[in-house]
Structure 1
Amino acid sequence: MACIALCLTGCDFFKIKTEDQGSSEDPVVAAVDDILLKKSDLDFVTRETTSLTDSSNLAKRYIQSWVKKQVMIREASKSVNVSQAELDKKLLDYKYALIVYEYEKEYIEKNLNREVSAGEIEQYYEQNKDNFTLKEIIVRANYIKIEKELNQNKEVQKLMASNSEGSSSQLRELAITAASNYFLEDSTWIKFDEITLNTPLADHQNKVQLLTSRKKPIIVENEGYNYYFNILEYKLQDQVPPVDFVKDEISEIIINKRKVNLAESLQNQVYKRAQDNNEFRIYE
């Protein structure tokens, strides 16, 4: 019959009952058949805690979890036929994933260059344009929401339609002093749905037609406000976005590629060093 033993006493954590259960310095705290869990095995669990009560609770939870896993393994072994070779392979894979991941992660953090130049972004963009097909409309635009009753409405409409030098700065000053909401970053590409959110255009049934046959500016209203949109440029679904819209995404892709290359480089270095030092043999 299988034997399960737990040796816990309040805040003392552990109590030893027989000499077979370990030394007094490192007592056994739980056993499932002949598999033992010792006090030293719990050091990593309680290392970061400062409260004796917290340490005791953490230790108890870990022991219960350990016992459950051991009895499940024992029970599963009765029903599941796993060869030793297959088990060894799975254990090796798990060990690799657990230990090597942390090693590679630390190595990558120390050696990774996170700076991505504009030239690198442009080159990647030109080589992979088709991978960045838009799934929604994006625009470069100016937008102002202003109360209908304000006298500045005429000036907003005039400045929105103007291409004259200085109109942008005048529009910004007017927006700061009179607008309820505005977006005047016209060099920045933004999703059309984001700039029209909470405006009458949000529910427009044919946004493509609205943009392709647009007036300058587009003016819509509701009970209390006028909404002015000056669409300077747009890209529709299935078109290729400008590089500025995807530069952050490209930068992340390039950095991730560097991470992969660093991991592969580390593996090759370790392998080559072990090979040069005759640390392994491969039998034909």
Structure 2
Amino acid sequence: MRTKYLILAVVCLIAASCSYFKKERNTAYVARVNDHYLTFEELEAHISNNISPEDSSMAAKSYIQNWATDKLLLDRAKLNLPEERQRDFRELSQKYEEQLFKKAYKDALIERELSDKIDSASVLNYYENNSVNFKLNEDLVQLRYLHLDKKMKSIKDIKRQFLRFNSEDMLSLQEKSLEFKSLSLNDSVWVRVSDVVKEFKENKNIELNKPELLKAKHFLEIESENENDIFFIYINSVLNRNEKAPLSYVRPTIEQILLNRRKINISKNIEKEITKDATKNNEFEVY
């Protein structure tokens, strides 16, 4: 409520100093430019209740000034631009509006038809038939890592479990996760080498040697500069640039391709059915 009265006060001050602002008897309006009226509700909607009175006053004044400038420019443009050009603009606006309506309606119909997810068989079939298109343009690795304090008493046992990494070792390391500063034990996921290097540099202040990351079945033990932290990294598998991309890595891309195809087919069917129904119901005739 305080903001509302403050805005009204600001409006009165502006109205007194600007010749093109005229306080209407109907207090629903706070400003006028020719035949354009700014309502109090519109102004209030653009002024936050979570700001100070001073900021609220400035925001109200700024909004009114910008609104007035916008309307004045619009009126000057309509007055001075050639009628032919204005007619072109109106036609473009109408076409754009029609496109928005049609797209929104078709999108709603398409979403209703897209109830089923892309099945794994379709993804695999597309992958096998288009494998030549799935060549890597960068190096990928599967790895796991631990970030821990060098002073941990059980560090030797942890290292042994990390390297051996059977099911019991993995479970044991997961149970100790709160003792580690960070970890990632899922070494079945393919990640970009460039992302690994960036992650360690920006978030762990560690410069990784990229060639060392491109050695499969390779273990790295790295000490941080402060000599308190240590990193265990194990490179499980490597895929080099220009090799065939693994299905798990390109699966999201394939699913999106198949989804877009399905949308196109549904869209074409909608256009056929809508014309067919309109003809049947005498809504569409060709003379």
Using the size of structure 2 for normalisation, the TM-score is 0.65
Kindly report which structure 2 residues correspond to 1:71-110, keeping only aligned pairs within 5 A, or say none.
71-77=76-82, 90=92, 93-110=95-112
Kindly report which structure 2 residues correspond to 1:185-196, keeping only aligned pairs within 5 A, or say none.
185-196=186-197
Whole-Å separation in 2 of the counterparts to 1:162 and 1:232: 12
Kindly report which structure 2 residues correspond to 1:156-195, keeping only aligned pairs within 5 A, or say none.
156-162=158-164, 164=166, 166-174=168-176, 176-195=177-196
**How many aligned residue pairs are there?**
245
- Change in CA separation of 1:265 and 1:74 when aligned onto 2, cut-off 3 Å: farther
1:236 to 233, 236, 240: 240
- Change in CA separation of 1:99 and 1:178 when aligned onto 2, cut-off 3 Å: closer
- Change in CA separation of 1:87 and 1:220 when aligned onto 2, cut-off 3 Å: closer
Shift of 1:97: 1.0
**Alpha-carbon RMSD:** 4.1
- Change in CA separation of 1:66 and 1:249 when aligned onto 2, cut-off 3 Å: farther
Identity of aligned residues (%): 19
Shift of 1:71: 4.5
Query: Structure 1 unaligned runs (5+)?
Result: 1-5, 15-28, 43-51
Using the size of structure 1 for normalisation, the TM-score is 0.66
- Change in CA separation of 1:252 and 1:165 when aligned onto 2, cut-off 3 Å: same
Deviations 1:218-259 (A, max 9, x none): 111122111111111122333332111222332233223322
Whole-Å separation in 2 of the counterparts to 1:107 and 1:142: 45
Q: Is the 8 A contact 2:193 2:213 kept in 1?
A: no
Deviations 1:125-165 (A, max 9, x none): 22333444434332222111111122322223222322655
Kindly report which structure 2 residues correspond to 1:123-272, keeping only aligned pairs within 5 A, or say none.
123-162=125-164, 164=166, 166-174=168-176, 176-196=177-197, 197-198=199-200, 203-205=207-209, 207=210, 209-213=211-215, 216-222=218-224, 223-272=227-276
Amino acid at match of 1:151: K
- Change in CA separation of 1:83 and 1:227 when aligned onto 2, cut-off 3 Å: closer
Whole-Å separation in 2 of the counterparts to 1:92 and 1:282: 24
Q: Is the 8 A contact 1:136 1:236 kept in 2?
A: yes
